[in-house]
Amino acid sequence: MEPLLRAEHVTICYNGKPVVHDVSFDLQEGEILGIVGESGSGKSTILRAAMGLLGHAGMVTEGDIYYKGQNVVDMPQEKLRKLLGPEMGMVFQDCKAALCPIRTVGDQIFESMSEHGRISRKDCDRRAAEIMQKIGLADVKRIMDSYPFELSGGMNQRVGICIAMMQHPSLLLADEPTSALDVTVQKQVVEELKLMRDEYRTAMIVVTHNIGVVKVLADQVLVLQNGKVMDYGPAERVLKHSGNAYTKKLMDSVLCLKREKRPLQA
Task: For residue 29, count CB atoms less than 10 angstroms from its CB and return exposed for 0-12, middle for 13-18, buried for 19 or more.
Answer: middle
The β-bridge relationship of strands 32-36 and 17-27 is unpaired
Say whether pLDDT at 50 is over 80.
Answer: yes
Instruction: Kindly state the average pLDDT of the residues 149-156.
Output: 89
Q: Which of 10-14, 128-132, 212-216 has the highest mean pLDDT?
A: 10-14
Say whether pLDDT at 257 is over 50.
Answer: no
Taken as a whole, the chain contains a residue count of: 266
Partnered with residue 221 across adjacent β-strands are 34, 233
Q: Could you list the beta-strand ranges (E) of 37-82.
A: 58-67, 70-71
Share of residues in the chain with pLDDT > 70 (%): 95
Say whether pLDDT at 180 is over 70.
Answer: no
What DSSP string describes 249-265? HHHHTS----PPP-PPP
> Which amino acid type is present at position 146?
S
The β-bridge relationship of strands 5-14 and 17-27 is antiparallel
Average pLDDT of the chain to the nearest whole number: 88
Q: Which helix (H) or strand (E) holds 125?
A: helix 121-134
What are the phi and psi torsion angles at 21 (to 5°)?
A: -120, 115
Q: Read off the pLDDT of residues 86-107 as tens digits, 9 standing for 90 and up.
A: 899 998 877 888 889 999 999 9
pLDDT bin (cut points 50, 70, 90) of residue 55 is confident
Max CA pair span of the chain: 75
The answer to whether 5 and 203 have CB atoms below 8 angstroms apart is yes
